[in-house]
A and B are shown apart, each in its own frame.
Chain A
Amino acid sequence: MTSPDMVICRCEEVGLGKLLQTAAAHGCSARELKLRTRAGMGTCGGRSCRSLILAMLEESASQAPGHDMPLGCQPPVRPVSFSMLGGTE
């Protein structure tokens, strides 16, 4: 079935094709997939695509989700300006 590729990480516009290719080429974890493709590293902090990447790995690489939060979670969990982090306005 030929169907157009679709965006998985909306923030970085990483498509399903690219994710499947990268996962197949490197047999990698969700976190490594993030580092290789930038999926999950955009403005929303992975909030929108984390579960999609997990679902994709479960289905295509038979990787059952572990108990830890997938892709990791680093602060700040909202985009903040430098001035908010302690600089001057």
Chain B
Amino acid sequence: MTDVLIVGAGPAGLSAALACREQGLSVRVVDEFYRPGGRLLGQLHEEPDGQWWNGLEEAAKLHDKALQAGVDIRCGVSVYNVAKADGNWQAFTTEGVCEVPALLLATGASETAVPVPGWTLPGVMSIGAAQVMTNVQRVRPGERGVVIGINVLSVAIARELQLAGIHVDRMVLPALSPVTSSAGHPEKVMESMLRVAHLAPSPLIRLGSRLVQSLGLQKRGIRFYPSGGIRMWGIPFQLRTAALEIVGTGQVEGVRIARISPEGVPVPGSEKIIPADFVCIAGGLSPLAELAAVAGCAFAYLPSLGGHVPLHNERMQTSLPGLYVAGNITGIESAKVAIAQGTVAGLSIAADLGKLREPEPLRHAMERVCLVRQQAAIQFHPDIALGRERLHQMYEQAQAM
């Protein structure tokens, strides 16, 4: 019988698999994507030291190590249910039922949309879809695109599209609506970008500090933001423009935009339709924790971590014995944090199965997560550390009950 089943062959899952193998456990990893690497595959950005973080290369390194270590990796396999059975976990997959003493959910995140009317047209895709199509599948999403939603994720990916020679016409906000929350509010978008831009040394800080420099924005605010936007990497960032509707017959042909007030109210008479053949919707990421939910895990709602997160501790244990989590399912952070968490999860599993010969590596791995977090080049939310503290508190409280 396999000792450990890991759902997700992304950076967290593969790192956990390696850590388990190093302690002599037998490991199977399943992933519904057709190749291993998870969302690490599409990543491509400059680190503060000028080196490129090349997701395809990093994923290949992890994959090769895992194969050499004897990890059984099965791609194209979906897990549709998990359940407790006689002290073990049963995972119901499209290749049969797998019963194991330890189950790790490393399923990552899903994207939250910021919808506008017309967003179901062919040619409208999530910003992540454009990243994967460009960097992994090497097919242009289109000839002329508009990105709706300005945040850390969309800025990073717009840069990647531009790097690949794809014409991103502009970045705009979604029209204000009950489902777009503050994403359609220029003042709030500006605040949130500046907060993140000041967090860490990162290419994104260029956007923040350029904005601050060119307009003295900290004093005067969004009111004096130029309507044509500020260009970064040749792409106009139009925080005072909203996409009201995506138009086209059968597929995307254009976007109806309008200038907006600092509170997101369209300026009458400023509407026009701009041509486009693809549109990217960018709302942010949220933990993909449906398997934790069907397993019966308790959750916490923590916006700083991206939404609903399964309760777990720093050893990556959930409140359900034998069930672990690692990576973006625990809260939205970077691939490096996912790798560090995966290592913790693997060692934690080994310890719980009585196979960890010494406690040192686990303690060291847990410290490493904090270190990697502090050094992160891209943070999605300024309050991640606080969010994690709150999460661990809630886990302890739940355990004490």
Chain A residues with CB under 8 Å of chain B are: 1, 3-8, 10, 13, 16, 20, 45, 47-48, 51-52, 55-56, 58-60, 65-70, 73-78, 80, 84
Contact = CB atoms under 8 A, between A and B. Distances in A.
Contacts of A20: 178
Interface in B161-214: 175, 177-181
Contact of A77 (B116, B117, B290): B290
A44 B291 CA distance: 14
Contact of A16 (B110, B178, B301): B178
A78 B116 CA distance: 27
A55 to B, nearest CB: 5
A88 to B, nearest CB: 15
A76 B245 contact: no
Contacts of A3: 117, 175, 244-245
Given A75-B92, A77-B291, A80-B94, 10 more contacts: A5-B117, A52-B179, A55-B178, A56-B179, A65-B301, A67-B301, A70-B308, A77-B79, A78-B32, A78-B94
Contacts of B78: 78
B137 to A, nearest CB: 21
A70 to B, nearest CB: 7
B178 A69 contact: no
Nearest to A75: B81
A60 B176 CA distance: 13
Interface stretch (B17-25, B48-56, B292-300, B354-362): B292-300
A4 B266 contact: no
A45 B78 CA distance: 14
Nearest to A59: B178
Contacts of B395: none
Contact of A6 (B92, B110, B177, B286): B177
Contact of B179 (A10, A55, A75): A55
A77 B79 CA distance: 8
A7 B115 contact: yes
A82 to B, nearest CB: 13
A8 B117 CA distance: 9
B117 A73 contact: no
A43 B298 CA distance: 25
Given A3-B175, A3-B245, A56-B178, A76 B286 contact: no
Given A16-B178, A65-B301, A80 B290 contact: no
Contacts of A60: 178
Given A5-B117, A68-B299, A80-B80, A51 B293 contact: no
B117 A4 contact: yes
19 contacts: A3-B175, A5-B117, A6-B117, A7-B119, A16-B178, A16-B179, A47-B288, A51-B307, A55-B179, A55-B180, A55-B181, A66-B301, A67-B300, A68-B299, A69-B289, A75-B81, A76-B80, A76-B81, A80-B80
A74 B117 CA distance: 29
B113 interface: yes
B153 to A, nearest CB: 15
Contacts of B79: 77-78
Interface string B286-321: 101111011000111100000110000000000000
B175 to A, nearest CB: 7
Contacts of A16: 177-179
Interface in B65-95: 78-81, 92, 94
